Structure 1
């Protein structure tokens, strides 16, 4: 295996695992705090059980996210030393601040997990809120660092040297807002639908139905709202990329020729040699409108860039189509949930309704993985956009393939352990239901 390919594969593997842990770690504390708030307001012990159950999940993903994130920081230095040599002093600030947010999150999580009966109720609830806010801040700061790679600012690049470094400008680069907004909504969407799907499955199994119904509603309120807002952030991102990274937009849409009134391509198989897209549905002028707000505006194609600077079109295009397609599916499910909650509450007790959401459990995270593929592969061949090429930043030390094999084994083992812990946690019977026997679906429905 070639060293460059091995290094890129190792980073892809690491990011692919870490992004799932990070999304859940960012979002689950808000679910936990919401159920805790409901318990304090209503006194319903089911909400207390739900809060404790979710807090254990938060702890699991906090630990695994910390481990996988630490491994990623080491990989940046080991695999891409030239990148870190130059980039470290420039975008080190968001990583430093992310570390601060991480420590605050760790302290607040400790207070929350062990604060039952030891703190005043509302202060205890507040510590859970701090877990969510600090986790969200941590994620945004990391995304800001990635945004700098897509829109490098805060320095002057003169004769191969990085001069006049301004870390504040690097932190608030041109890409940080659009990427952070899009990633935050994606995290809430993916986690919300995944958690709701698991609880929908448990309701289908007739396990503690009222407990799981409350969890299902909380998760879908967050996930559904985020899914409905996601197209707005997608539009902001598309217009931003059209200006800053036109080659990435061209690869996303398999847009080979610069033209006015450019068509939006849905589906299709790009042929990079023939510079065309086969079997695609085209909407005339729609790409121009999405990119520039005008149906007749010019959209730059890949023909304006040297061949050696073209991103991999096939991978970027497919990943973009998957992300958008699954996002639309989840938006539709979000609308279905809110409509049923408004007009058709009886649907939430129907098997067909629960099966829809159970089947949707992995869709959000597949969309997140596809979105990160668009972000990273669409930037190629640059590791720092238009400044440093990926092939020039890779470590000169041979044998990177063995590192890839080792890290693959570690991440697979970590995923298996997390899966085992989560399955055991999901199957756990809430404490308020112990001693009264298993609640049947009939008894719950008759009492609700």
Structure 2
């Protein structure tokens, strides 16, 4: 969101058009709402790490603490820059004021990369020697820049742009179909959907990088993602299907011969390790991982194809991108990016099971043995549900306030 805000602000500074100033201020209030919510939920998560995973944090904290501490630094920079930006209108020089908004986006991006690097370390442990149950020769830099950090961070950052771009675009597209404030909503739609579309088109490239990385480091996860039960050369890519874990087959699936071998190793005849080479007590839950992976890919493909139609329509100045039916399609796709993000995290986390630290510490050995933990689960769940409701209400009010600035009749051909 801060990048959308900064682009709109840039357009205001270059053109002097008030619609961009109005849009920028509206988006900046949305950024502030998300920032405050992130501060609360992020603080809760830090307590949850110690509360739920004491054995894991005992060993992991000294190793992957660096990205978390750097994330805290990025968070404080983001907070300071956001304060400057929100209260800097008419007080700072215009371009310095715009720059503080860019800093908000860059520091937020850095926070995301650092947190994902910590998660990547759980998938690809590095920066220490594990000898006789001891974690020795700790190197925090090597831990942070583990083998998985780049592919995971790239995939997640693009996913964030896709999800946010299509969600923001969907809201403004829906308001356009209602005849609400066309000039502002059309400008917002162009900024958000263009960025979302570009990210959606790039996402399969990052997905390919991630798939090849997972194939090398976590063959069990790849096998669960594809419900690939038997090791074979020229392994087919499975689309859809219902895994039968008892008979080790996939029913009702579409199979593309050799495609999985190519995606995993760049060779149509390469051997892909199946679950038959993974010990039974180290196999991930196949059905959940497979369905989550299929949902993620399906959502991503729909958003990518929609993004292509949008960019083509912008390039060729086609009228269909302003037609009510097309705008309703964009509005319908509003939650799809976030569904893909959640499905992707299910693939990442469930696909790593039974390990919390891949190949070294199992989840059952890391979780707290304390009784009564269900009450903290209920408490945290109620807080998160309350936050979701409050954020939704505040965003709804911001959208309504934006529409009070101006109201123009809807025209499908302009």
TM (norm. structure 1) is 0.91
User: 400, 408, 411: which one pairs with 1:439?
Assistant: 408
**Runs of at least 5 residues in structure 1 that lack an aligned partner in the other structure:** 1-27
Aligned counterpart, 2:318: 345
- 2:160 is the counterpart of 1:160: no
Is 2:184 aligned against 1:215?
Answer: no
How far off is 1:429 after superposition?
3.2
* Contact preservation (8 Å) 1:45, 1:432: no
Counterpart residue number, 1:406: 379
For 1:160 and 1:354, how far apart are their aligned partners in 2? 58
Q: 2:209 aligns with which of 224, 236, 258?
A: 236
- The answer as to 2:178 corresponding to 1:205 is yes
Of 384, 387, 411 in structure 1, the residue corresponding to residue 360 of structure 2 is: 387
Cα drift, residue 221 of structure 1: 1.1
Quick one: distance in 1 between partners of 2:212 and 2:23?
41
Q: 1:113 aligns with which of 86, 92, 96?
A: 86
Tell me which of 277, 288, 299 is aligned to 1:304. 277
Residue range with higher mean Cα deviation, 399-408 or 148-157: 399-408
1:346-376 superposed Cα distances (whole Å, 9 cap, x missing partner): 2232111101100000000000000000000
For residues 227-273 of structure 1, the C-alpha deviation after alignment (integer angstroms, 9 at most, x for no partner) is 00000000000000000000000000000010000000000001111
Deviation at 1:342, TM superposition (A): 1.6
Matched, 1:319 2:288: no
CA contact (8 A) 2:178 2:410 kept: no
C-alpha separation between the residues in 1 aligned to 2:67 and 2:131? 24
Q: Provide the residue aligned with 2:16 in structure 1.
A: 43
Q: In the alignment, which residue of structure 1 is the partner of 2:166?
A: 193
State the partner residue of 2:222. 249
How many residue pairs are counted as aligned between the two chains?
414
Instruction: For residues 173-214 of structure 1, give each alpha carbon's deviation from its aligned partner in whole angstroms, at most 9, with x where no partner exists.
Output: 000000000000000000000000000000001000111000
The reply to whether residue 429 of structure 1 matches residue 398 of structure 2 is: no
Quote the offset at 1:440 in angstroms.
Answer: 2.0
Instruction: Give the equivalent residue in structure 2 for 1:18.
Output: none
Counterparts of 1:187 and 1:416, CA distance in 2: 21
* 2:56 is the counterpart of 1:83: yes
* Partner residue, 2:157: 184
Q: Deviations over 1:32-56 (max 9, x none)?
A: 0000000000000000000000000
Matched, 1:278 2:251: yes
Tell me if the contact between 2:245 and 2:286 (Cα under 8 Å) persists in the aligned partners: yes
Aligned to 2:77: 104
Is contact 1:49-1:430 (8 Å) kept? no
The correspondence of residues 145-156 of structure 1 with structure 2, limited to 5 A, is 145-156=118-129
| Contact 2:197-2:304 within 8 A present in 1 as well | yes
Alpha-carbon distance in 2 for matches of 1:309, 1:69: 31
Q: Which moved more, 1:32-41 or 1:335-344?
A: 335-344
Report the Cα offset of residue 431 of structure 1: 7.3
User: Deviation above 6 Å: which 4+ runs of structure 1?
Assistant: none
2:18 & 2:194 partners in 1: Cα distance?
21
Question: 2:177·2:410 contact (CA, 8 Å) conserved in 1?
Answer: no
Alignment partner of 1:73 is 2:36 = no
- SS of 1:441's partner is coil
Distance, in Å, in 1 between the alignment partners of 2:229 and 2:159 is 29
1:369 and 1:347 mapped to 2: Cα distance?
Answer: 31
- Give the deviation of 1:396 after TM superposition: 1.3
Question: For residue 417 of structure 1, what is the aligned residue in structure 2?
Answer: 390
The alignment's C-alpha RMSD in Å is 1.1
Report SS of the residue matched to 1:119: coil
Structure 2: how far apart are the matches of 1:441 and 1:371?
Answer: 38
CA contact (8 A) 1:198 1:358 kept: yes
State the distance in 1 between where 2:74 and 2:121 align. Answer: 19
Aligned-residue offset at 1:432:
5.5
1:91 CA drift (Å): 0.2
Per-residue deviation, 1:79: 0.3
